[in-house]
Each structure stands twice: as C-alpha cells, then as structure tokens.
Amino acid sequence: MPAPSPPASVTAEPRARTSVARALVHVVAAGLLGVVAAMTAAPPIMVSLFGGVVAVLVTVVVVIAVVAGLAVALDRAAGPGLNGRAGSVNRGVLLGVAGCVIALAIVFIAFRTGHASDLPVPLRYATAAVPFAAVAALQWPGPVRIVTTVVLVTTAAVVGIPWAQERAAAGREADIRAQIGTTARPWVTEITGLRGGAPQTTGSEWLSTPYTADGDPQPVVRLVRVPSTVAAGADPCGGQFFPPGSEYDLTSCTETAAGVWSRVADPYRQQLVTRLGGTWISAEADVDVAPALLAEALAHARPMTGDEYEAWLDAMLVHPLD
C-alpha cells in the first residue's frame, strides 16, 4: 500500500517559508539593482544636461530601458518567474520603469526643496534602493505584499501628513506676509461707549484697530500695535509712534504712570503708549478726546484670540479661487 500523504498543513508551512525567503532575496536584489542603476546612470544624465531637454529625455529613456531589461532577467532568476509564474516581462518592465521614475522623482524633489545636500553621497545613491525594493515586494502575493502595503501606507501617512501640513502652513504664512505685511496678531480692547471695528493693515508691521461712536464712521480712538523697531533704545519719547502717513511733530512726551507715556503732537493728535508682553501698544486720538478713553483702551488691551485672528484673516486675505 502506498504511504499516506502528509497533511496539507504540514507541507504548506515549509512552502510558505520558502516563498518568503525567495521574495526577500528578490527584494534585496531589486534594491541593489536600484543602487547600481543610480550610480551608473547619474554620470550620463549629468552630462546630458549640457545638451538640452532632448538629450536629457533620450538619456533617461535609454537608462530606463536598460534597467527594465535587467529587471526582467532578475525576475526570472530570483523573482516570481523562478517558480514558473508567467509575466516576467511585464513584472520586470514595471519594476524597471516604476523604480526609475520614483527614484528620479525623489531626486527632483530633494533638489527643489534644498535637501539634496543633507545626505552624504553614498546615502544619496542608497535611497534608490527603496522604490525598487518596494515595487519588487508588491509583486509577491501573500504576506510579503500585505506587509509591504502596510509599511508603505504607514510611512506615507507618517511622512506625508506632517509635510503637507507644513507646506500648507508655509503657504498661508506667505499669503499673510504678502497681503497684510506681518504675521503678528492685531490688538483689541474695550472702551465704554465705543464699538471696535476690523483691524486695519498698512502693508507693514503696523496694525491699527479703530473704535467708533454710534452714528459716526470716523474713529474716536485707535489701538495701534507698534513695530518693535520704532522705540529707539526702548524710549517712547525718541521714536515715531504715529503710523506711516500720519507723522506729526511731537510737542511733548511725559511718563504719566509707571511704563505709560503720554505723547502729544499739539494741536493734532495725542497718544498713550506702553509696552505689554514685549509689544509696544499705542492708544491714539485727536487732542480734544478725553485722555481717560485712551487709558481705558490700554487697560483692556490684548492680542486677538486664535479664533478672532482666524476670522479676521478669512475676511482680509484674498484667495485666487475666491
């Protein structure tokens, strides 16, 4: 009688281990192919830059074709094709083309973002192993493909999300600087009988918040965030605290309280100036306005909260798609 066949579970486990081992060999070999391709392709591509766009494109196409041919041979020698699985040409071409394109994209992004010089030269070539190894791993069914997919998705999330957030924040900051002139928050306050309006910009670090009486569009008091460079040597009497376009000749400047100065440009404007949390703040009005209103403005002055600031920015910033 013939000997009984071993249970399927007994033979499946060694085959699975063999398949994973072969896949790892293929993945490592594909990574080495990427490194070799990067080292051998870099010189001709660099030389082709002197020949213009056409020369670069021709060189890149030739490099990709050669690498794809080597990837086909690798698939038959150590990849899924070694087990007689059909499709070596398709898998090899995909590995060669995708690996080269992704590697070139990494190089392009590294140079555009200024990170190309962050790594020593050997490690720059070594990064080409990653896309080749990843594509090769995805060509193996079963646990190798599953693990590779999880690693790629996790890595993309860990790296991509913070990068996207950083880029969005940088873009928003650039818009704020271009359209408003500063990323500093405007200051607001509360004054009895007056209503605050939207802070106004000057295209610089000066930010002015107007306070008007009912029925009168002209501001009675302005709360001004003053640039730190205005007060020479931290002396309010030696700096020009009036916003650009409204420069007056200062006729008197006295310290009316600890850290609070009264500046008067008779017969036009008056100011109470102080420094709050390292920021110079000025309450400004015509000379016939009661000084108590200026004192009240400084007493309640504060920077905008995060929500107030975001709402103000949404109203101020002009977006091309709006």
Encode pLDDT of 34-70 as tens digits.
999 999 999 999 999 898 999 999 999 999 999 999 9
- Contact by Cβ (8 Å): 252, 266: yes
State how far Cα 63 lies from the chain centre.
33
Using CA atoms, how far apart are residues 79 and 33, in angstroms rounded to an integer? 13
Residue 233 CA: distances (Å) to CA of 205, 239, 242: 19, 9, 17
The residues, any chain, with a CB within 8 Å of residue 274's CB and separated by 6 or more, are: 259, 260, 261, 280, 281, 298
Q: What is the mean pLDDT of residues 145-163?
A: 90
pLDDT tens digits for 218-268?
999 999 998 877 776 677 887 777 777 777 888 899 999 888 999 998 888
Of 189, 200, 222, the residue nearest 303 (C-alpha)? 189
Please give the pLDDT value at position 13.
Answer: 54
Cis check: omega of the bond before 243, within 30 degrees of 0: no
Tell me, what's the pLDDT at 107?
87
In the chain, what is the greatest distance between 2 CA atoms, to the nearest angstrom?
122
Mean pLDDT of the chain: 86
Q: Would you tell me how many other CB atoms lie within 10 Å of the CB of residue 78?
A: 18
Task: Among 5-9, 170-174, 188-192, name the most confident range.
Answer: 188-192
Token pair 């910009």 is found at 201
| Residue 178 Cα distances to 175, 303, 317, angstroms | 5, 21, 10
State residue 318's pLDDT score.
76
Looking at the chain, list the stretches that DSSP marks H as alpha helix, in order from N- to C-terminal side: 8-48, 53-78, 88-112, 121-126, 129-138, 143-179, 291-299, 306-316
Where does the pLDDT of residue 11 fall: very low under 50, low under 70, confident under 90, or very high at 90 and above? very low
- Nearest alpha carbon to residue 222 among 270, 267, 280, 278: 270
